[in-house]
Amino acid sequence: MNLKDYFKNTNGFGVLSTADDKGKVDAAAYAKPKVLDDKHIAFIMGDKLTHANLEKNPYAVYLFRKNGPGYEGKRLYLKKDSETKDKKIIENTCKEEWPGPYCAPHYLEGAFLVNFKVESILPMVVYDKKKK
C-alpha cells in the first residue's frame, strides 16, 4: 500500500518529533500528513518550537499509531525539503486535507507548509516473529 492510500484509509494518532541543533528533543501531536508522493509529505505548522527546531536541524520523525487494538502504525524518518508561507497555498492545502474549523484564517495566521523527503519508513513496532 502506498503512503497516499495508507493515510487516506487509516485513522489514528500522529506525533512529529524534532530536535534542535543541540539535540534537545520536542514531540507534538500532528494530523496525518499531506502525501505528495511516496517520497514526500507535508505538514502545516505554526511558528512554534517544532518549526524552530527544523530551522536548526532538518531531521524529524513522524510516528503514526493506527486506531484499534495493539500497536500498528508507521514511523516515517524525514528530512525537511522546503517550506512556504504563502497563505493561499496553506489555506487551500488545509481545506483539501484537513477540512474543518482549523482551516479558519485566524488559525492559519503565521503558519508554514513544510515539505519533507521521506528517507525511510518502518513499522511502529518491530516484532521478532521467532520469539513467542
pLDDT reported for residue 125: 84
Catalogue the E-assigned strands of 20-109: 25-30, 34-37, 40-45, 59-66, 73-84
Task: Going residue by residue through the chain, which has 132 residues, state the pLDDT in tens, using 9 for 90 and above.
Answer: 699 999 999 999 999 999 999 999 999 999 999 999 989 999 999 999 999 999 999 999 999 999 998 889 999 999 999 999 999 999 999 999 988 888 998 899 999 999 999 999 999 986 655 555
Residue at 131 is within a domain: no
Range of the domain at 23: 3-123
- Indicate which CATH number applies to the domain containing 16: 2.30.110.10
Residue at 128 is within a domain: no
Element at 51 (helix H, strand E): helix 49-56
Residue at 129 is within a domain: no
Residue at 25 is within a domain: yes
pTM given for the model = 0.91
Which amino acid does the sequence have at 19? A
Residue at 55 is within a domain: yes
Residue at 63 is within a domain: yes
Number of domains in the chain: 1
Which amino acid does the sequence have at 131? K
pLDDT reported for residue 127: 65
Residue at 130 is within a domain: no
Residue at 107 is within a domain: yes
